[in-house]
Structure 1
Amino acid sequence: MMWGRRPVRAPPPRRCGGVLWSARVSAPDEDQPAPAASDRRSSGQADIGRRNFAAVWVANFITAVGMMGFIPLIPLYLRELGVSGAESERIWSGVLAAGAPLMAAFMGPLWGSLGDRVGRKPMLLRANLAIMVFVGCMGLVTSIWQLLALRLIQGVFSGFLAPAMTLVSVTAPAERQGRTLGLLQTGVLCGSAIGPLVGGAVADSLGLRAVFFVCAGTSLVAFLVVALVVVEPPRAAVPKGSLSGPGKLLRAVAGDLRLLLANRALRGVLLGVFAVRFGASLIEPVLTLFVETLKGVDPERLASQAGLVFSVQVAATVFVTPYWGRLGDRRGPRRVFRLCAAGAALSFGAQALVTSLPQLLCLRLVCGVFLAGIMPTAYSAASRHSSADQRGGAYGFTFSSVILARGLGLLGGGWLAAHVGFAPLFVVGGLLMGAAALVARMGAARTPLRSQP
């Protein structure tokens, strides 16, 4: 509230890629000098933010197209490498699907905190370069063990989402963090929806191995976009002594990570997002088998109908994610996270009762609407409870929670389905999402917000 002054309306903000970038305008004060230099710095940072957002969105989209072009085809590639038998195919498909995410989960905080010290742009370049090299080499393997080794190494070096989110976040206006991060994620979601179509078309026309080379090519394009367009945002000065050698650098990074984990509110964010993503991932490895048991499913069209079940949730996420980000900016990310987790819990758990394909499609659509709000609000909450010079580490932990939850969910879902059936997977997943909604009530109330960029 302004005392003794008349508020001045801000000029209309400029729009770039759906993100509004503007600075708040306060009433003029004749006793204060005109802040020309400050205005120029603020305008320059906004220009960097718009440029980086556009470039990173495009890079994320291209990378996601390539990554999702080959991942759904891994079971078919296994047969080409000599794996036979339904049981062996299922086991190896699960291991290869989960291997890279699990490795990325352990490395995410390290890369994020390292980016806080040496720069976020180098981390994004490192990720795209790793995808280009290691995924390209997957098209040359001759045994399943070579493919597994490359997937694990890829997971160590190729986490691209966390540094992308960090780089954009530090130049976005503090009051629009959720909106900006939500829109940024639509690039990944759109790429993930298009990638399987591209991969399938390439495999049908050029063969399975060509898909890996195409993915490597898309990563090269994304690498060039980041290298040529992205501008490294200014960050807090780092003592030179902390960068004088690998040992000192790793000790400094470890200290940064310990400091972040001491933040109670951030721990609540990590626990909540882990519970939601783990619960949602339980059904994924056996969802096609569950669809096969429903009324009205044509066995000859099982693949396309199962693909529709997957796509309807992704489509809902693409369209609704920016809305949840904007709502989180206005109402607070923790409150919106709680709403989304509760809605996802009800709609996901109710899928245990479906008996027909239309019922499942409707509930998947509703569940996708609520799941769309989890990630933008989680990243926005992480940004609120970390300073700008710790943002990479905070996002690295958040990213790791998501990836670790997904990897463990993929591994555990198939095993649980074999022992208890499909319905309990929905029940367990719904209960975990409900628990996340409760966790969201507990975390940040007594923890002060950290400085914003």
Structure 2
Amino acid sequence: MRFDNKAVPIVLAAVLIDTIGFGIVIPVLPRLITELGHVDLEQGARLAGYMLVLFSATQFVAGPIMGSLGDRFGRRRVLIASMLAFAIDYGLMALAPTLAWLFVGRAIAGIAGAVYAPAMAVLSDVTPPAKRGATFGLIGAAFGMGFIIGPAIGGLLAGLGPRAPFVAAGLLAAINALTMMVALPETLAPENRRPFDWRAANIVGAFRPLFAAGNAAALLGAWFLWQLAHMVYPATWSFWATIRLGWDARAIGWSLAFTGLCMALVQMTLTGRAIARFGERVTVVIGLVSGAVAFTALAFVTQGWMVYALFVAGAFQGFVFPAMNALLSHMVDADRQGALQGGISSMSSVASIIGPLVLSQALAAGTDHGFPGAAFLLAGLMAATALVIIVTLVLRRPSANAAASPVR
């Protein structure tokens, strides 16, 4: 694949390596939490939900700050600092003697996890508006490929103990930081930088130019619901698969690798074509339909092969992220792309605070009543509601939600 700017493949590689590091540890989290906390799987699912809440709360604060810092000092410095923080985080978790250490590690990871704001801003810097949807799709593909490689490696490394994947993840993060130090160019020209302003370094300030450019409330509301729904995977998958299907760490790792493969193939080969043919808003609808159907069906599976069939059917949900992000990125100017992506990151963090709490509790409560699929049923309802909002308030009001002239 040919890239117009060498920063694009470097950022994609950074996202890939980062996601591998994140995915490596997923298969062993249930075992590590239950061992350190001396709890059963149901209580472990609740603790994992609280851990995700802490991660998301710190990311909520850090997202707009990191994005605004990128708008002030450039993307490169922020990306490198984030990767170094990730390396420290995984090192802490590898050595964790108690659950408290795991929570501290997740707090550090929440700050470092704001890396996606400057990463997306890099792509906005170097990609013409008409091509952003397809380019953002490549970020999704890199994320999907990371979930192919990461959980598979994590499942294999689980045989060496529940801490081995964290050591591997820390090494990958350190390599990632070193690679960016050597090869990543700065993509934000000095004339496009702006002073850092604490008033803009929060979710309200980050979205202020967006609302000035157009009526984006419906789009943001639908995206927020989708993000809530999508949290069902990190919040419950390992525990649900263990409870419902009796899978071990290796089986969980391979299942996540397979869904990553399906989504990566869709995002690499079909996202750009779908946006070019149908436009960004219709492409969002296709993704939401795919996700709503897959979530709802997963609630009722009884055998492992059904999961794999639904992963194939639900792979088009990978359209949602790049199409929505492209719609929003058209609405702000070059010196606000970092702040916008930071605001989007914070909105994701709010969903990541609420989602794990609600969905992990739904899993635990449903399991208590003989229905482990309750979390997926709830996720399907959220995705369907987002779909209704898009169809009724976005598709029918193109003048209010179409890309407007960027504003400062």
The TM-score bracket by the shorter chain reads 0.7 to 0.9
Structure 1 residues 59-114: Cα deviation after superposition (integer angstroms, max 9, x where no partner): 22222222222243223223553534444433323322443134213421232123
Match in the other structure for 1:337: 284
Residue of structure 2 aligned with 1:70, choices 25, 30, 35: 25
Greater Cα shift, 216-225 or 421-430: 421-430
Alpha-carbon separation, structure 2, partners of 1:152 and 1:308: 28
Give the conservation status (yes or no) of the 8 Å contact 1:162–1:399: yes
Alpha-carbon separation, structure 2, partners of 1:165 and 1:289: 31
Matched AA of 1:231: P
Structure 1 residues 107-139: Cα deviation after superposition (integer angstroms, max 9, x where no partner): 212321231222111221121011012221222
Residue of structure 1 aligned with 2:221, choices 268, 271, 278: 271
Structure 1 residues 152-190: Cα deviation after superposition (integer angstroms, max 9, x where no partner): 132123322221121122101222111111113322221
Alpha-carbon separation, structure 2, partners of 1:153 and 1:356: 38
Q: CA deviation at 1:53?
A: 0.9
Q: Compared with structure 1, are the counterparts of its residues 70 and 384 closer, same or farther at alpha carbon in structure 2 (3 Å cutoff)?
A: same
Match in the other structure for 1:54: 9
Give the conservation status (yes or no) of the 8 Å contact 2:209–2:332: yes
Residue of structure 1 aligned with 2:135, choices 174, 177, 180: 180
The structure with the larger Rg is 1
Q: CA deviation at 1:292?
A: 6.8
Match in the other structure for 1:9: none
Matched AA of 2:386: A
Matched AA of 1:327: A
Residue of structure 2 aligned with 1:281, choices 223, 226, 231: 231
Match in the other structure for 2:170: 216
Determine which structure has the larger helix proportion and give its number.
2
Pairing of 1:245-256 with structure 2 (within 5 A) = 249-251=197-199, 253=201, 256=205
Q: Compared with structure 1, are the counterparts of its residues 117 and 269 closer, same or farther at alpha carbon in structure 2 (3 Å cutoff)?
A: farther
Alpha-carbon separation, structure 1, partners of 2:96 and 2:306: 42
Aligned: 1:231 with 2:192: no
Alpha-carbon separation, structure 2, partners of 1:329 and 1:236: 32
Bigger RCO of structures 1 and 2 (CA < 8 A, at least 6 apart): 2
Number of aligned residue pairs:
395
SS in 2 for 1:231: coil
Residue of structure 1 aligned with 2:320, choices 357, 374, 378: 374
Structure 1 residues 236-280: Cα deviation after superposition (integer angstroms, max 9, x where no partner): 63688x45xxxxx32354585252353454443332222123223
Give the conservation status (yes or no) of the 8 Å contact 1:333–1:378: yes
Structure 1's unaligned 5+ residue stretches are 1-14, 22-48, 244-248
Match in the other structure for 1:321: 267
Alpha-carbon separation, structure 2, partners of 1:139 and 1:287: 22
Residue of structure 2 aligned with 1:401, choices 347, 352, 355: 347
Identity %: 23
Alpha-carbon separation, structure 2, partners of 1:73 and 1:291: 13
Pairing of 1:404-419 with structure 2 (within 5 A) = 404-419=350-365
Match in the other structure for 1:30: none
Structure 2's unaligned 5+ residue stretches are none
Q: Compared with structure 1, are the counterparts of its residues 98 and 178 closer, same or farther at alpha carbon in structure 2 (3 Å cutoff)?
A: same
Q: CA deviation at 1:399?
A: 2.8
Pairing of 1:185-204 with structure 2 (within 5 A) = 185-204=140-159
Give the conservation status (yes or no) of the 8 Å contact 1:176–1:326: no
TM-score by length of 1: 0.77
Residue of structure 2 aligned with 1:439, choices 365, 384, 389: 389
- Provide the aligned C-alpha RMSD in A: 3.0
Aligned: 1:129 with 2:91: no
Matched AA of 2:223: V
SS in 2 for 1:449: coil
Matched AA of 1:260: P
Alpha-carbon separation, structure 2, partners of 1:134 and 1:288: 21
Residue of structure 1 aligned with 2:211, choices 251, 262, 273: 262
Matched AA of 2:173: S
Alpha-carbon separation, structure 1, partners of 2:309 and 2:338: 37
Structure 1 residues 169-220: Cα deviation after superposition (integer angstroms, max 9, x where no partner): 2101222111111113322221222112323444434x44343332222111
Give the conservation status (yes or no) of the 8 Å contact 2:289–2:384: yes
Alpha-carbon separation, structure 2, partners of 1:216 and 1:427: 35
Match in the other structure for 2:296: 349
Pairing of 1:110-125 with structure 2 (within 5 A) = 110-125=65-80
Give the conservation status (yes or no) of the 8 Å contact 1:352–1:422: yes
Greater Cα shift, 259-268 or 210-219: 259-268
Give the conservation status (yes or no) of the 8 Å contact 1:139–1:209: yes
Matched AA of 2:400: R
Give the conservation status (yes or no) of the 8 Å contact 1:347–1:366: yes
Match in the other structure for 1:5: none
Alpha-carbon separation, structure 1, partners of 2:299 and 2:113: 36
Give the conservation status (yes or no) of the 8 Å contact 1:265–1:385: no
Matched AA of 1:259: R
Alpha-carbon separation, structure 2, partners of 1:155 and 1:387: 27
Alpha-carbon separation, structure 1, partners of 2:230 and 2:169: 27
